[in-house]
Amino acid sequence: MKKANIIHVILFPVLVLLIFSLTLHAEPEYENQHRDSYHKPDKVLEVIGVKPGMVIGEPGAGKGYFTLKLAHKVGPTGKIYANDIVQKELNILKSKVKKQGLTNVVIIKGKVTDPLFPKDQLDMVFMSYVLHDLSRPVPFLKNLKSSLKTNAPLVILERDPEKYTKTAWHFWKKRKILKTVKAAGFRLERIETFLPRDNIYIFYAQMKEEYLRK
């Protein structure tokens, strides 16, 4: 084999690995920038009332798109309980948390019907693109309710299939969302509709007195 061919044989796999590595590291940044364009995370956190020092639970945190933003927003005096049932996703999130030097994120592997958040400690529960994927949403929501402090909101960000029809088959219509969350013992406070693809539903746990009046 000629010397030039040997060099090509050696260099080609090295170049392939280099390109793959660069793509792997660039993709999340591009993905985040793309999501920022329609999620508008800074505006979302402002509208739902996330403030320094808050303790927030995030079911279905996944790879941490919102987790990291929430953690920076609540600051070192606050805390984020990030939940998921997929260990691979949690491993990626753990790596990101470590890389950013965050000490206020607690990662929890939950159950299908229970996020396993600490009881009566959360100032808010925030769910983004999670509700429609829950296999048993009502038991799950009932279990997370006990983790909320009195008058702490449940905030649900979900794609509106009437706004964005490309993925309409995968997401729930407004009526189904309201019916499901109400069945778990929550009442709707308001719906924010400023996002181009999504709606934000803000709920509060119903008190016993409210049930008695019905």
Same structural domain for residues 128 and 208? yes
pTM of the model: 0.83
pLDDT at 2 (0 to 100): 55
Same structural domain for residues 70 and 33? no
For the four alpha carbons of 40, 84, 27 and 158, in that order, the dihedral sign comes to negative
pLDDT at 31 (0 to 100): 61
- Tokens describing residue 174: 């407004």
Contacts of 39 (CB under 8 A, 6+ apart): 65, 128, 157, 195, 198
Count of CA atoms in the C-beta half-sphere (13 A) of 120: 1
Same structural domain for residues 1 and 101? no
Same structural domain for residues 112 and 72? yes
Average pLDDT, the chain: 87
19 or 94, higher pLDDT: 94
Contact 158, 129 (CB under 8 A): yes
CA–CA separation, 195 and 214 (whole Å): 33
Closest CA to 210 of 191, 190, 188: 188
Same structural domain for residues 8 and 111? no
Same structural domain for residues 110 and 130? yes
Is the pLDDT at 214 greater than 70? The verdict is: no
For residue 21, the enclosing domain spans 1-39
